[in-house]
Amino acid sequence: MRYISLFSSLLVPLILAGSVTAAAEQSSFEYKPGAHNDESNGSCGVEKLVKNNIDIAESNTPGLNPERISVLNWNIYKGQRENWATDFKRYTYKHDVVMIQEAHLGDDLKSMLDTEHQYWALNTAFHYKDMATGVMTASRVKPVQSCGQSTVEPFIRFPKTSLVSYYPVEGMAENLMVANIHSINFTFGVGVYKEQIEKLYDVMKHHNGPVVLAGDFNTWSDKRMQIVEDLAQRLSLESLDYTSHNRTIVFGNALDHVFYRGLEPVEHDTWYVTSSDHNPTRVSFRMKDHTVVNTELAAGESDDENC
* Chain-centroid distance, C-alpha 169: 18
CA–CA separation, 254 vs 107, rounded Å? 31
Residue 40, C-beta contacts closer than 8 angstroms, at least 6 positions apart: 52, 143, 144, 145, 146, 147
- Per-residue pLDDT, 295: 34
| Domains defined along the chain, listed by start | 21-287 (3.60.10.10)
DSSP structure string for 237-285: -EE---SS----EETTEE-EEEEEESEEEEEEEE---SSSSS--EEEEE
Bridge-based pairing state of the strands 176-182 and 253-254: unpaired
CB 111 within 8 A of CB 2: no
**Which amino acid makes up residue 145?**
Q
Residue 30's closest CA among 136, 165, 117? Answer: 136
- Per-residue pLDDT, 100: 95
CB 71 within 8 A of CB 177: no
Residue-wise pLDDT tens for the chain (307 aa)?
444 444 444 443 444 334 445 543 444 556 554 443 323 345 675 444 433 333 444 556 789 999 999 999 999 998 888 889 999 999 999 899 999 999 988 888 988 888 877 899 999 888 888 888 899 999 999 999 899 999 999 888 888 999 999 999 999 989 999 999 999 998 889 999 999 999 999 999 999 999 999 999 999 999 999 999 999 999 999 999 876 678 988 998 999 999 999 999 999 989 899 889 999 999 999 998 654 443 333 333 323 332 2
CA–CA separation, 222 vs 204, rounded Å? 23
Residue 127's closest CA among 154, 158, 152, 82? Answer: 158
- Per-residue pLDDT, 275: 86
195: three-class secondary structure by DSSP: helix
> What's the half-sphere exposure (Cβ side, CA atoms, 13 Å) at 282?
18
Residue 61: DSSP 8-state: S
> What's the half-sphere exposure (Cβ side, CA atoms, 13 Å) at 44?
26
Residue spans of alpha helices (H) in 161-244: 191-204, 222-234
Q: Whole-model pTM above 0.75?
A: yes
* Chain-centroid distance, C-alpha 243: 23
- Per-residue pLDDT, 21: 54
* 4 φ, ψ (degrees, to nearest 5): -65, -40
CB 163 within 8 A of CB 143: no
CA–CA separation, 214 vs 179, rounded Å? 6
Bridge-based pairing state of the strands 131-139 and 119-128: antiparallel
Phi-psi region of 246 (alpha: psi -120 to 50; beta: other; left: phi over 0): alpha
